[in-house]
Amino acid sequence: MQTVLIIDLFGNGHHPRYIRWIIESEACRRAEVIVAGVRELLEHQELSSISGSFQAHEIIFTPKQEEALGTFSFPFGLLHRQLAVRDIELDVFRQISKRVTVSKVLLPYVDDCLDAIGLLGSPFGQTPWAGITLRPSFHFSRVGVAAPVDRLSFVWEWLFRRALRQPSLGSLCTIDPTMDEFAGTQFPIGEREKLHFIPDPAVEHELEPIEVARAALGIPRDARLLLAYGELSERKGIGLLVECAADPRCPKNIHILLAGRQSQYSRALLEAGSCACLREQKRLHVLNGYQSDEGEARILAASDCAWVGYTGFYNMSGIMLLAARHGMPCLVSPFGLAGYLAKKYELGMVINPEDKETVLAALRCLSDNPARFALAGRRGKSAFQDHTVCRFQEVIDEVLSADLPTVEGALG
């Protein structure tokens, strides 16, 4: 029986759910699975609910590693951080290899060290490995994705392609459809064959009637409810959203639902005057904390539209995909992959998250023209019909079942 080692040094955001879906894939059901991660990840409810399906290996950072992982300055600080991640993964691999032969390694969030791997090679020696990449943007300007031009794009592309040429790499999966298209025309066949598109998955819930969901959440039946969901950080643009909803020019049937784990920023925002105004009008609804599948289904059933007005964020939006899979329109910033896909498939209204007037205009439209938003919702459901957990797991099965040469005990 093969032993699959999954390594993820972080436990926030989408990481736990991605790993749960991977563990529940057919290939992992046929293998011994070891998940190496921090306590926050291993004890997350997504993994604790399937704890019998894998062995847990807790990663505890040294003070020096903690310091390195906290480095975010661009570009050299981030590369230093990636090198630290690669070193930690090498240590973890060595520790586990002392007691078991690892058949394959899977990095569900390889962007934490992908450039470092391109520079120095795999930390797993000749042991086959695969990864999922979410963040590369060096190709954006060449495929029409609106994002800041990075003067070092050629460096990131060089490192990315070096990583693809690593002999022990079996597959590098990308959730970015534009990367898949770009590689298809720009990369030589040896690199192109290792890059696979994996649809960013979104659970398709069985939704209860809207009136049932709203009654449970204390939301009026006649409200037009805008959902801001997930990690409620500053980059989610919720400050401007709340400010616009509290503006006297905003229709009074517009309600805001903030659902997800709050950051220090969002906790401070909830104490601000705009939130106090909306609370007084009973137009602000807050659900703090990670939402279970049941909770997620309920807030989707209750909502009319999703907020994706992010600032300084240029990658895929899992919230936009989740909304689209359930026929829900979105208000989306014009930047990055989210903006690119929103415009391509007409998923709702494109707003400028730095321009209050465009947001107010969208809120008035949401209030006055529900038919327009309903049509956008139907488009989204059609556009992302393949972004299912089942299809995601099919690709994972193909990746983990690939016939790759294994050299036991080899280390980088």
| Residue 6 per-residue DSSP state | E
b (16+ CB within 10 A) / e for 87-120: bbbbebbeebbeeeebbbbbbbbbbbbbbbbbbb
Inform me whether the pLDDT recorded for 403 exceeds 60. no
Q: Which pLDDT does position 15 carry in this prediction?
A: 85
The structure tokens 């060096």 sit at 138
Domain boundaries, the chain: 3-201+389-401, 210-383
Q: Which pLDDT does position 79 carry in this prediction?
A: 86
Distance between CA atoms of 90 and 113, rounded to whole angstroms?
11
pLDDT-based confidence at residue 71 (cuts at 50, 70, 90): low
Inform me whether the pLDDT recorded for 72 exceeds 70. no
Q: Which pLDDT does position 290 carry in this prediction?
A: 87
Say which residue, 56 or 1, is predicted with more confidence: 56
3-state helix/strand/coil string of 324-373: HHCCCCEEECCCHHHHHHHHHHCCEEECCCCCHHHHHHHHHHHHHCHHHH
Beta carbons of 342 and 320 less than 8 angstroms apart: yes
The dihedral of CA 250, 289, 323, 111: what is its sign?
positive
Give the rounded percent of residues in the chain with a pLDDT score beyond 70. 96
On the question of a common fold for 3-201+389-401 and 210-383, the answer reads yes
Distance between CA atoms of 252 and 223, rounded to whole angstroms?
9
**What SS3 class is residue 384?**
coil
Sequence-distant (≥ 6) Cβ neighbours of residue 244 within 8 angstroms: 250, 356, 359, 360, 363
Inform me whether the pLDDT recorded for 295 exceeds 90. yes
Sequence-distant (≥ 6) Cβ neighbours of residue 270 within 8 angstroms: 258, 262, 286
HSE-up of residue 229 (Cα within 13 Å, Cβ side): 26
pLDDT-based confidence at residue 55 (cuts at 50, 70, 90): very high
Q: Phi, psi (5° rounding) for residue 285?
A: -125, 135
Inform me whether the pLDDT recorded for 204 exceeds 50. yes
Q: Which pLDDT does position 411 carry in this prediction?
A: 36
pLDDT, tens digit, for every residue of 362-397?
999 999 998 999 999 999 999 999 999 999 999 999
Q: Which pLDDT does position 344 carry in this prediction?
A: 96
pLDDT, tens digit, for every residue of 135-145?
999 999 999 99
Share in percent of the chain as helix, strand, coil (round to 5): 50, 15, 35
HSE-up of residue 196 (Cα within 13 Å, Cβ side): 20
Q: What is the mean pLDDT of residues 95-100?
A: 96
Question: What is the CB neighbour count within 10 angstroms for residue 191?
Answer: 17
Q: What is the mean pLDDT of residues 235-257?
A: 95
Say which residue, 232 or 133, is predicted with more confidence: 133
Q: What is the mean pLDDT of residues 59-81?
A: 84
Class of domain 3-201+389-401: alpha beta
Q: Which pLDDT does position 68 carry in this prediction?
A: 87
Q: What is the mean pLDDT of residues 100-105?
A: 96
pLDDT, tens digit, for every residue of 157-194?
999 999 999 999 999 999 999 999 999 999 999 999 99
CATH topology of domain 210-383: Rossmann fold (3.40.50)
pLDDT-based confidence at residue 410 (cuts at 50, 70, 90): very low
Inform me whether the pLDDT recorded for 121 exceeds 80. yes
Q: Over the chain, what is the mean pLDDT?
A: 93
pLDDT-based confidence at residue 14 (cuts at 50, 70, 90): confident
